[in-house]
Amino acid sequence: MARGRPARATVYARLELQMAELRTRLGGLPSPKEAEYVWADIWHLEAHHSTALEGNTLVLREVEALLEKGRAVGAKPLREYMEVKGYGDAAAWVYREAVEKSERESGQLITVQEVRHIHHLAMSPVWQVSPHPDASDQEAPGSFRRHEIRPFEGGMTPPSWPLVPAALDEWVALVARIPSRMESGDLLPELAAEVHNQFECVHPFIDGNGRAGRLALNLVLGRLGYPPVIVLKRQREGYLRAMERADTGDYGPLGEILARAMIDNLNRFILPSVAGPARLVPLAALVDQEMSLPALRAAAKRGRLDAQQRSDGQWLSTKKAVEAYKESRHHGKRRD
Contact (Cβ atoms closer than 8 angstroms) between residue 208 and residue 141: yes
**Residue among 166, 165, 152, 161 nearest 197 (CA):** 152
Q: Per-residue b/e over 36-50, b at no fewer than 16 CB within 10 Å?
A: eebbbbbbbbbbbbb
Read off φ and ψ for residue 315, nearest 5 degrees. Answer: -90, 140
Number of Cβ within 10 Å of residue 68's Cβ equals 11
Separation of alpha carbons 244 and 171, rounded Å: 18
Quote the pLDDT of residue 24.
Answer: 82
Contact (Cβ atoms closer than 8 angstroms) between residue 46 and residue 83: no
Per-residue pLDDT of the chain (336 residues; tens, 9 = 90+): 344 677 899 999 999 988 998 888 778 888 877 677 778 888 889 999 999 999 999 998 889 888 887 888 878 899 999 999 999 999 999 999 998 765 455 578 999 999 999 999 999 999 999 999 999 989 999 999 999 998 887 778 999 999 999 999 999 999 999 999 999 999 999 999 999 999 999 999 999 999 999 999 999 999 999 999 999 999 999 999 999 999 999 999 999 999 999 999 988 888 777 666 767 778 887 887 788 888 999 999 999 999 888 776 878 888 888 888 988 887 655 444
* The three-state (H, E, C) secondary structure of the chain, written as one string: CCCCHHHHHHHHHHHHHHHHHHHHHHCCCCCCCCCHHHHHHHHHHHHHHHHHHCCCCCCHHHHHHHHHHCCCCCCCCHHHHHHHHHHHHHHHHHHHHHHCCCCCCCCCCCCHHHHHHHHHHHHHHHHHHCCCCCCCHHHCCCCCCCCCCCCCCCCCCCCCHHHHHHHHHHHHHHHHCHHHHHHCCCCHHHHHHHHHHHHHHHCCCCCCHHHHHHHHHHHHHHHCCCCCCCCCHHHHHHHHHHHHHHHCCCCHHHHHHHHHHHHHHHHHHHHHHHCCCCCCEEHHHHCCCCCCHHHHHHHHHHCCCCCEECCCCCEEECHHHHHHHHHHHHHHHHHC
End-to-end CA distance of the chain: 55
Contact (Cβ atoms closer than 8 angstroms) between residue 54 and residue 200: no
**Residue among 251, 212, 177, 279 nearest 50 (CA):** 212
Q: Which residues pair with 309 in a beta bridge?
A: 315
Say what the pTM is: 0.84
Quote the pLDDT of residue 313.
Answer: 80
